[in-house]
A and B are shown apart, each in its own frame.
Chain A
């Protein structure tokens, strides 16, 4: 819940009452205990830009005055020797709900040594927290500390403007000091400024753009949590998402394998990913619908993750089956400037990045580029990746604009999978590749460009909206061999056994628009008050795709063709949402989303009869079109029986677009439908604990699972999931943070494909757990940041430690088999000194050989001997113990 989102008629803030001990134009945002601190407005921009994807919030209601933090205990600044500067040092200080300083960053300094001394002192100050009524809130305040040479060395507050008392250095405030009353004006701002004011508080109430936490399974994960544990790459920040697992199974250039609360999302089929407002999922991708390669992400610019698990928000679109993850990009004040970072790690892995975030620009304005190369943790795993992201927010007033662009290119070899029995018999090592050209030729190439332009409107009385357009191009090409030497050509008579190296290529060109508008809050007498939102999303995707079998030993000769198709897909969605607060106790959100999905498929190999019928009776090909309408409610009910307790129930129906080539001509429901119900509670406690628990049920009308002989996803019928999740964030001290999530799910296949003559014993049976989905996922992140040496030369010396632990219970496999449990431990240690930071990270510290993915299917990797025909366990090896050392400098 954001600062002022409960105020339907926000009024201009009182321009008095600045008698607090906070110094000078203080920029404040008041966040809910577990909400992000709203980002500060850029200088000269009175209208703060919308928070990235909105912050948690409820409907605006009656104005609630907000009291900003007060200093209750100061620690004097020790004026450094050898300097004689005097003046003011301006800090941006984050005060948590307990009144503890969590961050103190110099925004305008005097001298590096003086600045460091001021930061060191202010970090030890104690505040009374900001409050809204009785509710303690976290806040970001701007503090100006006057400093003078030793004769005036004690830190003292200047005389406050309106009768406020000065702050005695190192002492508690005088008893007559009173905090200011702070409300919110239509821009969420409340302040008064006069030139002689030394104690001013400006509150930029970053009210929610809209309510985004509609169920107990919705989370807003802020940077402090995202960066707690060490990360090998940007997309690893996703690991903090409750119930989500990510692994790199096919090399640096291929999308991660995702799994979220009972959905084996493979490369993104069940999770809607949005980065900086740009949709990432690619419909009808040859390697799996919803393919989402997040290899372009640069971790240092991921500002926040907003996660909607389940379906309860009408904004959730295609592929929001298990949920939606929206990443907002930005660079906070502490990290702005020019940051250069480089490092080197195990397996000949250099990485370098540069981030340029002008200090005077908005939080969302930055440019970033990253280069990674690796020799790979074993045979045939080398790869190189480069990506760049630029984003800029500009404009003032009610409408601001944001432009974003990203480009990504990567190529990586892949070791693919190896049989467990071959590992056991030492025929191949755990991290090796089979010694055949068809295995050694496995690789992936990824190329992508995405760009968007968005205009954001922040109107009076909580009206808001945005419109945007985006374009994208994606090229994907992979060569993968899962089954060894089992395939027979369907086009060339008598040709077989040349290696099952499947080549997949996919090109997608995307044009899209998005827009929404939420009205001002309106009253309905005793029935309460609420807002109405309408919006639309639309995109056109022109897709070309092919799949062939290649003979790697003869310059990738094509020895069979399996797919040669073109698809045009259009997704047009309209949604509406009523957010209604009947009283302080009950809030109802009623939404509806309708989408029209249409496809035109030119399947150039359709109707091909492999070697059984004369080819001169017709010309190969199967052209068809299909259109369907997917309509589903998105509702949630929130009850607040106690001030610290939120009970939530949500139900929604979503959809996933199909692999278009599977459609028949005239098909009227070209999508899979998901029904998702969720109940739970959020506990709005002040520090040190944030907690939410939830239970959920989902039913998917037509699920898909990986099919090894085709190297892609195939239908497995209807499935269901019943699960529970717990998420907690703990801040026992101002320097320690812990985050824990536990997700359990029981899954079942309801209508698996029946036995056929070709497959009399199918791999799936009714009631069987959904393959490849771990029933229990535990994730723990922790970080500590402390100052070791107050004065180490020009700067204090700080130490940082991070830890990430993941546990996955054994994953069910086809044919009723199951995999192995996976416990993974990562940790990092770092030193920060002025503009420099040095970090050493270790990954998989237990050095476990683990299967990032394990499969069960038939393969033959002994081409010169009778083949195995029993489905065997195959593994895609995860990374062994590795270390990485990075040095960063911020200019």
Chain B
């Protein structure tokens, strides 16, 4: 084979080989950019309250609510079984806030959770007052400001030893700076059941609030000290009664989370 023939044969071979290789690389490149194991996703955030009716307290006092509004947010859904500091990387989040009507059992759309698909095993949120790593004072959300810089406002009447009193109660739920600064105050406990797989088909997160258990942290004396009832009473956020309600909101019965 002379050099010219060899050269020609070589070029033909190279042409074919190059074309085949480039085609293969193209296919590989396309296949290499396949579906990611997780996808960006948004969920509708819907909350729902409920009419508690007449709530009978431990001492027999009866509460009837006419207003129950809570500041809600931000909210994080986490991949770990416990939230808090173990939720450095959340799956979905809603960093806004809104005032939730806890007496309304209709769906109240609040916005969208944004994040990615995947398993979620815990949640954490604030009632409008958020501890920040960057600030000495907690962040008061617009929703909490709407309620007067508190997390929860309850209004209604209470019947204590036969005497009816109108009341208003303000509750402040916030993280203690000395505890876990920068971490949401309400978190799923290890005993709560919350294990879900968020897929592209998952459309909505429903959060159902029940104010009744929180009211059970009160008793008649909170409204009528020494059985001296007045026609109206305002219970401030720094009162023992309000703090007990706050404690119930954080460590007692928490909202119910449902993905659907």
Taken together as a complex, chains A and B put the C-alpha atoms of A865 and B24 apart, in Å, by 50
User: Does chain A have a CB within 8 A of B7?
Assistant: yes
User: Does chain A have a CB within 8 A of B114?
Assistant: yes
Contact string, A264-303, partner B, CB cutoff 8 A, digits 1/0? 0000000000000000000000000000000000000000
Q: Inside 8 A of A868's CB, which chain B residues have their CB?
A: 93, 95
Interface residues of A in 849-870 (CB under 8 A from B): 857-858, 860, 863-870
Known: A869-B88, A870-B90. A815 touches B33 (CB 8 A): no
B9 CB to closest chain A CB, in angstroms?
9
CB nearest to B40 among chain A residues: A817
The answer to whether A644 touches B10, judged by C-beta atoms less than 8 angstroms apart, is: yes
The answer to whether B33 touches A858, judged by C-beta atoms less than 8 angstroms apart, is: no
User: Does chain B have a CB within 8 A of A818?
Assistant: yes
Interface residues of B in 19-71 (CB under 8 A from A): 21-22, 24-25, 28-29, 32-33, 36-38
The answer to whether A496 touches B38, judged by C-beta atoms less than 8 angstroms apart, is: no
A427 CB to closest chain B CB, in angstroms?
13
Instruction: State which of B6, B25, B80 has its C-beta within 8 Å of the C-beta of A644.
Output: B6
Q: Inside 8 A of B178's CB, which chain A residues have their CB?
A: 494
Known: A496-B182, A685-B7, A685-B11. A724 touches B95 (CB 8 A): no
The answer to whether B6 touches A642, judged by C-beta atoms less than 8 angstroms apart, is: yes
The answer to whether B89 touches A869, judged by C-beta atoms less than 8 angstroms apart, is: yes
User: Does chain B have a CB within 8 A of A686?
Assistant: yes
The answer to whether B91 touches A866, judged by C-beta atoms less than 8 angstroms apart, is: no
Q: Inside 8 A of A810's CB, which chain B residues have their CB?
A: 33
User: Does chain A have a CB within 8 A of B134?
Assistant: yes
The answer to whether A869 touches B32, judged by C-beta atoms less than 8 angstroms apart, is: no
Q: Inside 8 A of B25's CB, which chain A residues have their CB?
A: 724, 726, 742, 744, 776
B218 CB to closest chain A CB, in angstroms?
30
The answer to whether A759 touches B89, judged by C-beta atoms less than 8 angstroms apart, is: yes
Q: Which of B125-133, B160-168, B220-228 contacts A (4 or more CB under 8 A)?
A: B125-133
User: Does chain B have a CB within 8 A of A134?
Assistant: yes
Known: A488-B182, A497-B134. A818 touches B36 (CB 8 A): yes
Taken together as a complex, chains A and B put the C-alpha atoms of A176 and B85 apart, in Å, by 92
The answer to whether A760 touches B6, judged by C-beta atoms less than 8 angstroms apart, is: no
User: Does chain B have a CB within 8 A of A761?
Assistant: yes
Contact string, B82-97, partner A, CB cutoff 8 A, digits 1/0? 1001111111110100
- Count of A-B contacts judged by CB separation below 8 Å: 152
User: Does chain A have a CB within 8 A of B3?
Assistant: yes
User: Does chain B have a CB within 8 A of A645?
Assistant: yes
Q: Inside 8 A of A763's CB, which chain B residues have their CB?
A: 89
Q: Inside 8 A of B234's CB, which chain A residues have their CB?
A: none
User: Does chain B have a CB within 8 A of A683?
Assistant: yes
Taken together as a complex, chains A and B put the C-alpha atoms of A769 and B29 apart, in Å, by 13
Instruction: State which of A686, A693, A858 has its C-beta within 8 Å of the C-beta of B21.
Output: A693
Instruction: State which of A645, A757, A765 has its C-beta within 8 Å of the C-beta of B37.
Output: A765
User: Does chain B have a CB within 8 A of A728?
Assistant: yes
Known: A693-B21, A809-B32. A869 touches B81 (CB 8 A): no
Instruction: State which of A486, A685, A746 has its C-beta within 8 Å of the C-beta of B10.
Output: A685
Taken together as a complex, chains A and B put the C-alpha atoms of A463 and B74 apart, in Å, by 74
Known: A809-B33, A815-B116, A870-B114. A643 touches B6 (CB 8 A): yes
The answer to whether A497 touches B29, judged by C-beta atoms less than 8 angstroms apart, is: no
A757 CB to closest chain B CB, in angstroms?
6
- In the assembled complex, 24 residue pairs joining A and B whose CB atoms fall closer than 8 Å, in A order, are A134-B3, A494-B178, A496-B134, A497-B134, A497-B182, A644-B10, A689-B11, A691-B14, A724-B21, A724-B24, A724-B28, A757-B80, A760-B121, A761-B89, A775-B29, A809-B29, A815-B116, A817-B38, A818-B36, A858-B89, A864-B134, A866-B74, A867-B132, A868-B95
